[in-house]
């Protein structure tokens, strides 16, 4: 089944090969204004200012820290990828194969399903700083997809409070490092994607409390640098993600409505 894509996905791939102009900053701003009308206001603290869309339209990654009234700051980032939305979606989701987050050790835990992934991640830090780890619950926001008529695709995550109890379910070769690491109490965020012109507008927001005694300025700078590095890799990964996905034997990836991607 995965060896054959539907006409809709083929059409997206064909469109990716046309040399169209990058969308204007106005079209990006309008697309985002439409997108946030479908998203619960309480779920995002984005602070997009004048000039951001011009920078994104020029091919730049725009990122900054945004303060919250409680808990850690968040990192937000905007980027335009000249690939179809489905290709970018696969690049973000297919972490077992495509490794968007190069700095992290990752393992999908038992109890995961295509609708709800339980993902262990460990951040290996230089001595004498203790490693950090967490267990994320990752899911698609089908409500935003339905509200937008399929135009806005959103992937969300949060660290599980009972994550430390799940670490003993890791393979032996990962368990020791996990149990000796500091478990982060807060790790949450989202990817929001929408088609604009000939590609995909990507909006990232994430925040984490790394616990312990790490200086906040160092933590925040590292988090922002990591997001920017992931986004810079995203275009290259998305360029080959669909051809990788349609290979025989690949597990099924779901669209935000929790239907197989190739049926969209």
CA pair distance 193, 202, nearest whole angstrom: 5
CA pair distance 72, 6, nearest whole angstrom: 43
CA pair distance 81, 92, nearest whole angstrom: 12
pLDDT at 149: 96
CA angle 154, 15, 194 (to 5 degrees): 20
CATH 3.30.530.20, domain 7-263, yes or no:
yes
Place of tokens 């025989």: 248
pLDDT one digit per residue (tens) for the chain, 264 residues: 444 444 344 334 434 444 456 789 999 999 999 999 999 766 667 788 889 999 999 999 998 888 776 767 778 999 999 999 999 999 998 876 767 666 688 899 998 888 899 999 998 877 777 888 999 999 999 999 999 999 999 999 999 999 999 999 999 999 999 999 999 888 899 999 999 998 999 999 988 877 666 555 555 556 667 788 889 889 999 999 988 888 877 888 999 999 998 756
Centre a 10 Å sphere on the Cβ of residue 251 and count the other Cβ atoms it contains. 10
Domain boundaries defined on the chain = 7-263
Residue 88: its H or E element: helix 85-93
CA pair distance 33, 53, nearest whole angstrom: 12
pLDDT at 250: 84
């Amino acid at each position: 089944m995965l060896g054959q894509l539907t006409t809709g996905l083929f059409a997206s791939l064909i469109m990716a090969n046309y040399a169209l102009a990058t969308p204007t900053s106005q079209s990006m701003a309008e697309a985002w204004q439409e997108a946030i009308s479908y998203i619960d206001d309480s779920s995002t603290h984005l602070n997009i200012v004048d000039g951001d869309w011009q920078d994104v339209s020029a091919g730049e990654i725009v990122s900054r820290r945004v303060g919250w009234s409680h808990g850690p700051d968040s990192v937000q980032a905007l980027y335009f990828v000249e690939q179809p939305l489905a290709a970018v979606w696969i690049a973000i989701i297919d972490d077992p194969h495509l490794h968007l987050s190069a700095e992290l050790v990752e393992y999908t835990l038992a109890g995961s399903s295509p609708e709800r992934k339980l993902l262990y991640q460990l951040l290996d830090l230089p001595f004498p700083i203790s490693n950090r780890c967490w267990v994320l619950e990752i899911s698609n926001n089908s409500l935003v997809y339905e509200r937008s008529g399929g135009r806005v695709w959103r992937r969300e995550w949060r660290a599980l409070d009972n994550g430390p109890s799940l670490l003993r379910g890791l393979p032996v070769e990962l368990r020791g490092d996990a149990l000796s690491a500091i478990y982060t109490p807060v790790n949450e965020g989202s990817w929001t994607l929408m088609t604009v012109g000939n590609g995909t507008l990507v909006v990232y927001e994430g925040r984490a409390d790394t616990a312990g005694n790490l200086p906040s300025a160092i933590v925040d700078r590292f988090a922002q640098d990591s997001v920017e590095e992931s986004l810079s890799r995203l275009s290259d990964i998305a360029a080959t993600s669909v051809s990788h996905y349609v290979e025989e034997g690949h597990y099924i990836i779901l669209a935000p409505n929790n239907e197989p991607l190739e049926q969209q």
